[in-house]
A and B are shown apart, each in its own frame.
Chain A
Amino acid sequence: MTKYRIKPSVFLYYPSDHIGVVGFDEDSHETFFINLNSSSLKKLLVHTLFDLPMLKESFECEQVTAKEILNKLLIYKIINEDL
């Protein structure tokens, strides 16, 4: 099972109103606005390494949605596959 980790150059801000998450990548200097449930994301990223089932659990969602979320995180370049 493929495992993923958050990129070490990425920093996240979880706003106190729990709506969305703001990220910053120190390498590319890009700032991105992540349209995902912030408490779920926070829950997920407590783990250094995670996989798709763990994502599904944190977000309490269907497999299909979990895959979409994983894809989103990959497209944003927030996470890397753990090789």
Chain B
Amino acid sequence: MYIDIGEYLFRVDKAPNIVINNLKLMYDDAFSGFSHSPADFSVSLSHDSLLRRFVKPQVTFYLGNNSPFKPLPASQSYPVMEWGMNWCIAATDFNRLIVHAAVLVKNNKAIIFPATPGSGKSTLSAYFALSGWKLYSDEMAIIDLDTLKVMPLFRPVCLKNQSISLVKEWFPQSIFTGIAKDTQKGDVAHLKINNFAEFKTFSPVDVVAIVFPKYQKNTKTEPYMINKSTGFEKLAANSFNYNILGRKGFDGIQRLIEKTQQVEINYNDLSDVDNLLTSEFTL
């Protein structure tokens, strides 16, 4: 079985039925029985031990023969698959800068939202993606260090806890997997945004801004420009592979910071953020 996420192709060798069903739901035509292209990764989800197959069942994610995580309860199989896929990319791609961030695109211009604590980036991703923006990723910004363009990825949005019910309330037609309870991130569910046919029209685009949102219950939506060296620091701190890229990473981030604006936004209403960013960056 193959999952085509745009930039990468995964081959799934083995997975529980619940995972396969969710993959079909989340990836529609991007999930297929065969592909003529070579897969970047061969992954599987399997049970590790005799006892763990039947008593408190566990699954382990494998890339080839290596398992990067501890085994987790089988009830979390689907999130484990998605997190495993994230890991494969972040742990092996040193050709591009990979930032832990959401990427939303409007009018062919991208905004990167690094995953700082309290940012609410997943809820933001879901809201924006279902409100006319294109979702390039809810989890990782893949940036080409020569062109500084960001790559589209075909993935569902991972939502946690209250965000799940919030998004269901705002967008009653949205397509969700079931909720996996008691994961290390709390309750988790995945949300389908586009279908594969729509996604295939997305192409790499320039970044106009790097935005650090901070959700605060009782606040006005307020943007603050931050200075570039702080912007550099925060972007590098949120990059998975900055430490490996060395000089190329330093030069890339430098050029990206110079090319874009860096803004902090305190907010409590996502539609305000949407309006603010759309007008600020003429999107």
Residues of A in contact with B (beta carbons under 8 Å apart):
11, 13, 15-17, 19-22, 24, 26, 29, 31, 33
B245 to chain A, nearest CB (A): 10
Of the candidates A15, A19, A20, A26, which one forms a contact with B247 in the assembled complex, judged by CB atoms under 8 Å apart? A26
**B229 touches which of A15, A24, A26, A29 (Cβ 8 Å):** A15
> Chain A: which residue is nearest B246 at the CB level?
A29
Min Cβ gap A34→B in Å is 8
Please determine whether A11 and B229 come into contact, CB atoms closer than 8 angstroms.
no
Known: A11-B251, A22-B233, A26-B246. 4 other contacts (CB 8 A): A15-B257, A22-B232, A24-B246, A31-B250
Please name the 6 residue pairs, one residue from A and one from B, whose CB atoms are nearest each other, closest first.
Answer: A15-B228, A20-B229, A24-B250, A19-B227, A13-B254, A17-B228
Closest to A21 in B: B229
Tell whether, in the assembled complex, residue A20 and residue B246 are in contact, meaning their CB atoms are under 8 Å apart.
no
A19 to B232, CA, bound (A): 12
Q: Bound complex: CA of A19 vs CA of B228, how far in Å?
A: 7
- B229 surroundings in chain A (CB, below 8 A): 15, 19-22, 33
Cα A22 to Cα B235 in complex, Å, equals: 13
* B binding-site residues for A, Cβ under 8 Å: 227-230, 232-233, 236, 242-243, 246-247, 250-251, 254, 257-258
Closest to B242 in A: A31
B258 near A33 with CB under 8 A, answer: no
**Which residues of chain A have C-beta atoms less than 8 A from B250's C-beta?**
11, 13, 22, 24, 31
Query: Quick check: A15 and B232 within 8 Å, CB to CB?
Result: yes
B243 touches A20 (CB 8 A): no
C-alpha spacing A16/B227, complex, angstroms: 9
Q: Are A17 and B247 in contact (CB under 8 A)?
A: no
In the assembled complex, which residues on chain A have CB atoms less than 8 Å from the CB atom of B227?
15, 17, 19-20
Complex Cα distance, B228 from A33, in Å, reads 11
Residues of chain A within 8 A of B228, CB atoms compared: 15-17, 19
- By a CB distance below 8 angstroms, the chain B residues around A19 are 227-229
Q: Which of B233, B243, B258 contacts A29 (CB 8 A)?
A: B243
Q: Which residues of B contact A26 (CB under 8 A)?
A: 246-247
CA distance A26 to B250 in the complex (A): 10
Give chain B residues whose Cβ lies under 8 Å from the Cβ of A31: 236, 242, 250
Q: Kindly provide the distance from the CB of A79 to the nearest chain B CB, expressed in whole angstroms.
A: 18
Tell me the smallest distance from the CB of B269 to a CB of chain A, in Å. Answer: 29
Q: Which residues of B contact A29 (CB under 8 A)?
A: 243, 246
B230 surroundings in chain A (CB, below 8 A): 20
